[in-house]
A and B are shown apart, each in its own frame.
Chain A
Amino acid sequence: MTAVPDVHQPPFKRAVLAVNGGSSDARIVRLACQAAKLSKAQLVAVHVVEIDWSLPLEADVASRSEDAQRVLDAVEGIAESEHQEIETVLLQARDVGAALVDESSERAADMLILGLPYRKRFGGDFAIGSTIPYVLSNAPCAVWVVREPIVEISRGS
Chain B
Amino acid sequence: MIGGRRPLPGRKLADRRVRVERPHSPYFRYTGPGQMVAKQAASVPLTPAGRLVFRARSLVFGRPLASEEEIGERLAKKKALAIFSSDAISSSAYATEEILRVLIVAGAAGALAYSIGVSIAIALLLTIVSFSYRQVCRAYPNGGGAYIVARQNLAPIFGLIAAAALLIDYVMTVAVSTASAIQQIQSILPAAFDYRIEIAFVSISLITIGNLRGLRESGNIFAVPTYLFVGLALLIVVGGVFRIVSGTAHALPPQPDAVPLGATEQLSIFLLLKAFAGGSVALTGVEAIANGVPAFKKPEAKNAANTMITMAFLLGIIFIGITIVARAFAIVPSVDNSGGPTVVALVAGTVFGASPLFYLFQIATALILFLAANTSFNAFPRLAAILAADGYMPRQFSFRGDRLAYSWGIVLLAAIAFGLLVLFNGDTHALIPLYSVGVFVCFTLSQSGMVKHWFTTREPGWWWRAVVNAFGCVLTFVVLIIVTSVKFQNGAYLVIILIPVLVAMMLFIQRQYGAAQRQLAIRPDYILRPPHREERVVIPIPGLTRAVIQAVNVGRSISEDVRAVYISEDPDAALAVRAQWERQVPGVPLVVVESPYRALVGPLLAYLDVLDRAWPPDKPEPITFVVVPEYVARHWWERILYNQSSKRLRAVLVGRPHTVVVSSPYRREEESRFDPPPVPETTSQS
Contact = CB atoms under 8 A, between A and B. Distances in A.
Interface stretch (A87-95, A120-128, A144-152): A87-95
Interface in B15-60: 15-22, 24-25, 29-34
Given A60-B5, A63-B4, A76-B29, A69 B24 contact: yes
A66 B32 CA distance: 8
Interface residues of A, number: 30
A27 interface: no
A90 B29 contact: no
Contacts of B11: 98, 101-102, 105
B527 interface: no
Given A98-B12, A106-B8, A73 B19 contact: no
A49 B18 CA distance: 10
B8 A60 contact: no
Given A66-B30, A90-B19, A102 B24 contact: no
A69 B23 CA distance: 10
B18 A93 contact: yes
Contact of B7 (A58, A95, A105): A58
A58 B19 contact: no
A7 to B, nearest CB: 34
B522 interface: no
A102 B2 contact: no
Nearest to B18: A92
A73 B37 CA distance: 10
B10 interface: yes
Interface residues of B, number: 26
A90 B14 contact: no
B33 A66 contact: yes
B63 to A, nearest CB: 13
B30 A73 contact: yes
Given A60-B3, A66-B34, A94 B18 contact: no
Contacts of B29: 73, 76-77
B6 to A, nearest CB: 9
A77 B36 CA distance: 12
A91 B30 contact: no
Interface string A75-87: 0110000000000
A116 interface: no
Contacts of A105: 11
Contacts of A60: 3, 5
Contacts of B10: 93, 98-99, 102
A88 B22 contact: yes
A105 B33 CA distance: 34
Contacts of B31: 70, 73
A108 interface: no
Interface of B: 2-5, 7-8, 10-12, 14-22, 24-25, 29-34
30 contacts: A57-B16, A57-B17, A58-B5, A60-B5, A63-B3, A63-B20, A63-B21, A63-B22, A66-B33, A69-B24, A69-B30, A70-B30, A70-B32, A73-B25, A73-B29, A73-B31, A76-B25, A88-B25, A90-B22, A91-B20, A93-B10, A93-B18, A94-B16, A98-B11, A98-B14, A98-B15, A99-B15, A102-B8, A102-B17, A106-B8
Given A57-B16, A93-B16, 9 more contacts: A58-B7, A60-B5, A63-B20, A70-B32, A72-B22, A76-B25, A88-B22, A90-B20, A94-B15
